[in-house]
Chain A
Amino acid sequence: MLVKDIKDKFDFKVVAGEKGLNNEVKGLYCCDLLSWVMSHAKERDAWITVQTHINIVAIASLLNLACIIVPEAIEVDEDTIEKANEENITIFSTDLDNFRIFSKFYEAGMR
């Protein structure tokens, strides 16, 4: 699965990092405690978080995460968007909650 499939198949809105759309997605991970994410998220995971401050870009970049998904229509900070554009980290926004996001990935064949 590619990052752009999240845009094309799930209709999630790209709020930053258009240049990261061709990256590969291998898994899906959800957590808002940043140190927990740091020690448990795997390379190429798509990461769901309600945190929207600039530091999430550093985490995604340090761990080579596939992209960030912000659920439930939470607005993303402007400086986070700028940083994500610089680092080519795609950030998606969706109205869906975590459960429905996981369902989408499952239905798309991710196991």
Chain B
Amino acid sequence: MHSEKKDMGIKLEYEVIKEDFGRAGEASSDIKKVLRKLGIDSAIIRRVAIATYEAEINIVIHSEGGKITVYIKPDKIEIIAKDKGPGIKDINLAMQKGFSTASNKVRELGFGAGMGLPNMKKSSDEFDIESKVGIGTTLKMIIYFNK
């Protein structure tokens, strides 16, 4: 993990490695611990935990690796999940509950239910997804403290 304090808040950054199921969830667990230490409201922590966990798992399952960056600001938490990878051909289809391109092997472990992106959208106040086939996907999520 890499973290630094700036005037406008705290920045946390994590490398997420492809197919590393053993460590999947470590970044989101660490983010949760930091938010807890800061005394952030537990309902907000739950939403950030869901958003960052799903983003982390998606990078592990689908991409060639990526990075999760979290900015904790006075009024909001911004989460950016950026990966290198195949990208998403049809974002509307990918956003549908139950749609997944995960392999059977991954599904047997309980992943790949096609709920990751819908869960992230539901957990955040603002959700933005950009993807280029053959290059990668970037997700930006914002959760406000008072909304």
A interface list, Cβ under 8 A from B:
32-36, 38-39, 43, 49, 51, 53-55, 57-59, 61-64, 79, 87
- A-B pair count, CB < 8 Å, reads 67
Q: In the complex where A34-B111, A63-B49 touch, is A54 in contact with B29 (Cβ < 8 A)? A: no
Q: Which residues of B contact A34 (CB under 8 A)?
A: 57, 109-111, 113
Central interface residue in A32, A39, A58, A79, by most chain B CB within 10 Å: A58
Complex contacts, B119 vs chain A, CB 8 Å: 35, 38-39
**How distant is the Cα of A39 from the Cα of B123 in the complex, in angstroms?**
9
8 Å CB interface, B22-74 against A: 22, 24-26, 28-29, 32, 42, 46, 49-50, 53-54, 57
Query: At the interface, is chain A mostly helix, strand, loop or mixed?
Result: helix
* Interface of B toward A, CB cutoff 8 Å: 21-22, 24-26, 28-29, 32, 42, 46, 49-50, 53-54, 57, 109-111, 113-116, 119, 122-123
| 9 further interface pairs, Cβ-Cβ under 8 Å (given A58-B25, A79-B22) | A34-B57, A38-B54, A38-B119, A39-B115, A51-B110, A53-B109, A55-B21, A55-B110, A62-B25
A62 contacts across to B, CB distance below 8 A: 25, 28-29, 32, 49-50, 53
Known: A33-B110, A51-B110, A63-B46. A58 touches B115 (CB 8 A): no
Contacts of A43 in B (CB 8 A): 42, 46
Query: Which A residues lie within 8 Å of B114 (CB)?
Result: 35
**Looking at the complex, which one of A32, A54, A87 makes contact with B22 (CB distance below 8 Å)?**
A54
Q: Which 6 A-B pairs have the closest CB atoms?
A: A58-B25, A35-B115, A34-B110, A62-B49, A33-B113, A51-B110
List residues of chain B with CB within 8 A of the CB of A35: 54, 57, 111, 113-116, 119
A63 to B53, CA, bound (A): 11
